[in-house]
Amino acid sequence: MKKYIKKLTSVLIVIFMVTFTSCVEKKAPISSIKATELNSIICSFGDRPKDLISLDNNSIRQKDLLLMLFEGLVRIDENNNIVPGIAENWIVSKDELTYTFNIRSNAQWSDGIEITAKDFVDFFSVVLNPKTNNIYASTLFPVFGAQEYREGKRGFDGVAIRAVNDKTLEFKLNSPCSYFLDIISNPVFVLRKIDSSLIDWDKNYKDIQFSGPYKIQEVKSKDEALLIRNENYYNKAEVKSEKIWAEFIESREFALASFKNSKINVMADPPENESAFLMGADEAIAMPIEKGVGLSFNLKENGIASDVNFRKALANVINREQILENDLNGVGRAASAYIPNLQESKSNKPFFNTYGNTNLAMSYLNKSKYNKKDNIKLIYIEENQNKQLCEAVAKNVRDALDVPIQCIGYNEEEFKEAMQKGEYDIAASEYTGLYSDSLAFLEGWRTNSNVFGYKNTEFDSLVAKAKVEKDKTKRKEFISKGEEILLLDLPVIPIYYENLVVCRKSNVEDIYITKEGNLKLDRAYVKSSK
Given this model, what pLDDT does residue 254 score? Answer: 95
Non-local (6+) Cβ contacts of 259 within 8 A are 44, 265, 267, 270, 283, 503
Given this model, what pLDDT does residue 485 score? Answer: 97
Which residue numbers in the chain have pLDDT < 70?
Answer: 1-38, 342-349, 529-530
What CATH number does the domain located at 5-10+35-71+195-288+503-526 have?
Answer: 3.40.190.10
**Which DSSP string corresponds to 113-171?**
PBP-HHHHHHHHHHHT-TTS--TTGGGGTTBTTHHHHHTTSS-GGGSSEEEEETTEEEE
Give CA separation, 417 vs 270, 343, 381, 411, 522, in Å.
Answer: 29, 33, 12, 10, 40
d(CA 447, CA 455): 5
What CATH number does the domain located at 74-189 have?
Answer: 3.90.76.10
**Which DSSP string corresponds to 203-215?**
HHGGGPPP-SSEE
Q: pLDDT, tens digit, for every residue of 389-412?
A: 999 999 999 999 999 999 999 998
Given this model, what pLDDT does residue 348 score? Answer: 60
- At 280, is the secondary structure helix, strand, or coil? helix
Q: Are 70 and 211 in contact (CB under 8 A)?
A: yes
In the chain, what is the straight-line distance between the N-terminal and C-terminal CA atoms, in Å? 30
d(CA 410, CA 424): 12
Question: Residue 30, class by beta-carbon neighbours within 10 Å (0-12 exposed, 13-18 middle, 19+ buried)?
Answer: exposed
- At 8, is the secondary structure helix, strand, or coil? coil
If we measure between CA atoms, which residue out of 254, 294, 251, 256 comes closest to residue 275? 256
Parallel/antiparallel/unpaired status of strands 376-381 and 405-410 = parallel
Q: pLDDT, tens digit, for every residue of 133-163?
A: 999 999 999 999 999 999 999 999 999 999 9
Give the single-character DSSP code of 325. I
Given this model, what pLDDT does residue 18 score? Answer: 35
Q: Are 511 and 503 in contact (CB under 8 A)?
A: no
Q: Give 525's strand partners.
A: 509
Q: pLDDT, tens digit, for every residue of 124-135?
A: 999 999 999 999
Q: pLDDT, tens digit, for every residue of 267-285?
A: 999 988 888 889 989 999 9
If we measure between CA atoms, which residue out of 304, 384, 347, 341 comes closest to residue 514? 341
Fold for 289-499, please state it. Dipeptide-binding Protein; domain 3 (3.10.105)
Q: Is 356 left (phi over 0), alpha (psi -120 to 50) or beta?
A: left
d(CA 502, CA 269): 6
- At 91, is the secondary structure helix, strand, or coil? strand
Q: pLDDT, tens digit, for every residue of 175-192?
A: 999 999 999 999 999 999
d(CA 201, CA 209): 11
d(CA 295, CA 273): 22
- At 50, is the secondary structure helix, strand, or coil? coil
Instruction: Give domain limits for the chain.
Output: 5-10+35-71+195-288+503-526, 74-189, 289-499
Please tell me the total number of residues recorded for the chain in this structure.
Answer: 530
d(CA 210, CA 69): 6
Q: What is the mean pLDDT of the chain?
A: 90
Give CA separation, 16 vs 379, 391, 444, in Å.
Answer: 13, 20, 10
Outline where DSSP puts E strands in 148-283: 161-165, 168-172, 214-221, 224-229, 243-247, 266-268
- At 219, is the secondary structure helix, strand, or coil? strand
